[in-house]
Structure 1
């Protein structure tokens, strides 16, 4: 029986560390108190790029993942760039990464944008494609966030809580036992919050208009209540385990979006997870929120801390601005 397994994961963050004290001082000078926001979301520091772009960060993460997997670039059959922060519109970022990583046999390449679901969704879609294709055995997925250049100076949510970084996953189709690998996924989209963010605010058709202020060519995030996310997450997770003949108690570890620590804790509370502190990994206190790469940052940390073992069931669960959600079931 064939299945899609995670061969390796890796992350990269810039060296430029921004401390909590620096963040507070910056926003205090603007008359904006972000202490409650940082406490709720669980932030202590961030890493932000000074001169690196997302392509450069993805190259480093990709090289690390290839080395960790014990393979060569030419062993890769498909390459996916999964992010809502592309460096270029054309040619595709995946084409540029194909060249820089030397994945000469990856003839199937594309850019994928599902906002902050991008890397988990790409993992899901790649797995389904790999199972249906005779030609694709190994896939590399690269993604990340680089909002430092695109955020407004007074945007507390992005500037005070989001970090820059890149992540990489390598998937391999192989013979498996016990139904291991990517098992199933579930999605939910309710788009009524779609007007709460725009990047760029002016739209791409106006990006070269010199009459438009530079701040209106950046991202606009409008604060809004998303406390209901925990109920939606718990619903998706319950449905996912139920239709696969499992119970929530069978899940050994949860890999959540790293946007909000409180939402993670509240979701596990609704699910009545026993010993919840041992059942999730949170890393946004160290790296900040890294968008679509944030679940992979958490996954990489969980592996490094030996929190995930063979035959464990784990669930990835994340959310994208607007909003859309996904939960993915995986067995190690």
Structure 2
């Protein structure tokens, strides 16, 4: 018998304003002919949703957290710890998780942020599971992934094509039982030699924000150099194989694999590499765009709603973010959200 973490509720939030590819074509085609067409073909993205301009990241995270708690039959005051993953925080400091704690009314919860870009959510899940397994005082952890990158982008940069706002959240609770249920294993990869490829490079200690850096656009998110596709095409299969090996399960026994939702063709290629049918994955970028740190929990919630993820299944989640960071987790689910 042992203590382990199980997902007992999940929720997501999609902001109200839909931004279609046709709207972006009207904006960018004169200056960047066929850019939107090319990005649509290479990514599968057809639309994205943006939050109101007066919202902060914590405002997007809040309804997702509330939905997840409702699904788990929990109140905010039941939460012992909040872990929030994002690379579009409210502030450089304080942590966005503590702002969410206040807005949510989770008065008994400690908090911390995870900041490894779009690998943040599976990284946060692994951290939450480890804390639950080793700390008998922590019984309920709220894990949130949230993305509001469009607000940190230059509106005249065509790369806003990718940025969709959204949030997803899981409630993890402590369980007692034999090994093989709930959180099973995690695996990680990183290569910091890519840290200058894509990011926000002014506003931190490397270059504090100045009038010059603001005017030059260095306080906005920028693609400096494209990542080679091998980063994901080789890294994702490696992580799936590693996390299933550590979990003591066969790759063929995995029921669903969820990946960072940036390029649908990459997911199709990786599933082929793994020898798994496409029926064992799920994508949302077509309708919601690239939602970064939020895309894995959002894909999970949508997969549950559509019956792709079902009780007692083995689910692997793989996140990939700039820097680069990559992370994978494996869970054996139990019953799904009896309170919804």
In structure 2, relative to structure 1, the CA distance for the partners of 1:204 and 1:243 (3 Å cut) is closer
3-state DSSP class of the match of 1:294? helix
Contact 2:236 2:318 in 1 (8 A): yes
Name structure 2 gaps, 5 residues minimum: 334-340
1:82-101 pair list within 5 angstroms:
82-101=85-104
In structure 2, relative to structure 1, the CA distance for the partners of 1:207 and 1:192 (3 Å cut) is closer
Compute the displacement of 1:39 (Å).
1.5
Contact 1:253 1:313 in 2 (8 A): yes
Deviations 1:28-84 (A, max 9, x none): 022242312221111111101232221111111111111121111111111112111
Compute the displacement of 1:201 (Å).
4.0
Contact 1:77 1:138 in 2 (8 A): yes
Say if 2:62 is the partner of 1:72: no
Contact 1:4 1:171 in 2 (8 A): yes
Compute the displacement of 1:252 (Å).
0.5
Equivalent position of 2:51 in the other structure: 49
Tell me the TM-score normalised to structure 1 length.
0.93
Aligned length: 328
3-state DSSP class of the match of 2:211? coil
Compute the displacement of 1:193 (Å).
1.3
In structure 2, relative to structure 1, the CA distance for the partners of 1:311 and 1:208 (3 Å cut) is closer
| Correspondent of 1:237 among 234, 240, 254 | 240
Equivalent position of 2:336 in the other structure: none
Matches of 1:244 and 1:65 in 2, distance apart?
26
What CA RMSD, in Å, does the superposition of the two structures yield over aligned residues?
1.8
Compute the displacement of 1:178 (Å).
6.0
Compute the displacement of 1:223 (Å).
4.1
Compute the displacement of 1:123 (Å).
0.6
Deviations 1:266-317 (A, max 9, x none): 00111111xx231111001111111111111100111111212222111101
Matches of 2:245 and 2:199 in 1, distance apart?
36
Deviations 1:147-167 (A, max 9, x none): 11211234333x012201122
Equivalent position of 1:247 in the other structure: 250
Equivalent position of 2:328 in the other structure: 327
Matches of 2:114 and 2:227 in 1, distance apart?
27
Contact 1:41 1:261 in 2 (8 A): yes
3-state DSSP class of the match of 2:8? strand
Equivalent position of 1:135 in the other structure: 137
Compute the displacement of 1:15 (Å).
0.7
Equivalent position of 1:152 in the other structure: 154
